[in-house]
Structure 1
Amino acid sequence: MGSDPRGAGARFVIVRHGNTFAHGEAPRRIGARTDLPLTPAGEEQGAALGRHFAAQGWHFARALVSPLARTRATAAAILARQPNAPALVPEPCYWLREIDHGPDENQGEEAVIARIGAEALAAWDAHGVAPRDWQVDAESRLAAWHAFLATATGPALLVTSNGAARFALLAIGAVADRPLKLATGAYGVICRDADGTLRVESWNVRP
């Protein structure tokens, strides 16, 4: 997987980190203030992604990661299976950071819905509209995603969270026919064609 031979094209593979909750454990809203490690299952998800990308012949020229341990560990598992692994050092990237759920951070879904309502949560999942008191900074995220996708060289790997990854779709207006969410251990691919057009090749694919 490489850049377009005419020089303008590029591919960007956007990955959500692996599982941070053990099987049977009730999930919670985890964001920027809660730095959980991957579970063994999450580590295997990262390894599976790495094997999948290697089998596809997808060789990354660069890798960007958000600040927390779960994304860095997922990226490490993927990059360990790249042919240029020793030379490929992940770049910490602030605009890939997890969102801050404010008073809903580390809370279960029932508690979150009780505070903000199901409609607010649905608006976040369908349109990226942040519920009240969440710290998202949508405007700067949208600008950063669009600038990167429109100008960066590829092929590039970006490992982040579900809350941050959705802004890639929002930044290029590709939200009409697909959910914004990435499952844990899943990825999407955004391509920039030789004419500069940005398009979604795939989304929410889990090996």
Structure 2
Amino acid sequence: MMTRLIIARHGNTFAHGEEVRRVGRTDIPLVQSGLEQGYRLGIHLLQQQLLPDVLFTSTLQRTQQTAMHAQASMGTNLPLHPLSLFDEIDYGIDENQPETLVRARLGEEALRLWETQAIVPAGWQADPEQIRTSWFYFAQKIVTEYPQKTVLVITSNGIARFAPYLTGDYLAFYQKHSLKLATGAYGHFEFQPTQKNWSCVSWNIRP
């Protein structure tokens, strides 16, 4: 009676040595290494017997490219279900700006709080309550519509870090884990009808 939820982050969008920018809603493609990460994700899920029955992405091309390359290695041909609720957050005045400039504007403490507690820095257009609500809505949706199935979601870092609220104890989660999913990495959650909350089986597994 268990429902599985696999939440993966898309692959790399910047090549080695390329200037890294703070990209959220800006729709940029994967670089070659990012496509390869998608392929490795699929191989890993196949080896771990975590093949999805249904596949959701954001509306951004980087998540859909990751999904397509994962499917190539998994040998699946599932239709993609793009949902805007999985689109990366809008970084506001820092959107698509070089990471060095973002760090200079915000300071290390603001970025540390974002990375460790998902506290949104000033100037970013992100509503944590709305993101949390979206995760709870989606989790209930898949329990109802896809019971006993494995659901794969490919999204972005700013959205994925709020998914552990499904465990019912976000504080305990971020005290134990880094909230940030690496590119091409995933978290594995499970739900039993006898439980109130989802359990986290693993987090930030990078094939």
TM norm. shorter chain > 0.5: yes
- Is 1:112 the counterpart of 2:123? The answer is no
Judging changes above 3 Å, is the alpha-carbon distance between structure 1 residues 20 and 203 closer, same or farther for their aligned structure 2 residues? same
- Once residues 161 and 140 of structure 2 are traced to their aligned partners in structure 1, the CA distance between those partners, rounded to angstroms, is 17
User: Which structure 2 residues correspond to residues 1-207 of structure 1 after superposition, within 5 A?
Assistant: 4=1, 9-32=2-25, 34-83=26-75, 85-86=76-77, 88-152=78-142, 153=146, 154-172=149-167, 173=170, 174-196=173-195, 197-207=197-207
Runs of 4+ in structure 1 over 3 Å off: none
Contact map agreement 2:11 2:30 (CA 8 A) in 1: yes
**CA–CA distance in structure 2, aligned partners of residues 51 and 59 of structure 1:** 10
Aligned partners of 2:200, 2:175: CA distance in 1, in Å? Answer: 12
Q: Deviations over 1:92-145 (max 9, x none)?
A: 111111111111112222211221221111111111111111111211110111
Q: Distance in 1 between matches of 2:130 and 2:82?
A: 17
Q: In angstroms, what is the RMSD of aligned CA positions?
A: 1.5
The answer as to whether partners of 1:63 and 1:89 remain within 8 angstroms in 2 is yes
Q: Residue deviations 1:46-82, cap 9 Å, x none?
A: 0011111112222211111011110000011112333
| TM-score normalised to structure 1 length | 0.89
In the alignment, the residues of structure 1 paired with residue 50 and residue 66 of structure 2 have an alpha-carbon distance, to the nearest angstrom, of 16
Q: Is the 8 A contact 2:188 2:201 kept in 1?
A: yes
Query: How much identity, in percent, do the aligned residues show?
Result: 42
The letter for the 2-side match of 1:69 is: Q
SS in 2 for 1:59: coil
Superposition TM-score, scaled by structure 2 size: 0.89
SS at match of 1:176: helix
Contact 1:59 1:82 in 2 (8 A): yes
Tell me how far apart the structure 1 counterparts of residues 107 and 120 of structure 2 sit (CA, whole Å).
12
Q: Which runs of 5+ in 1 are unaligned?
A: none
Counterpart secondary structure, 2:136: helix
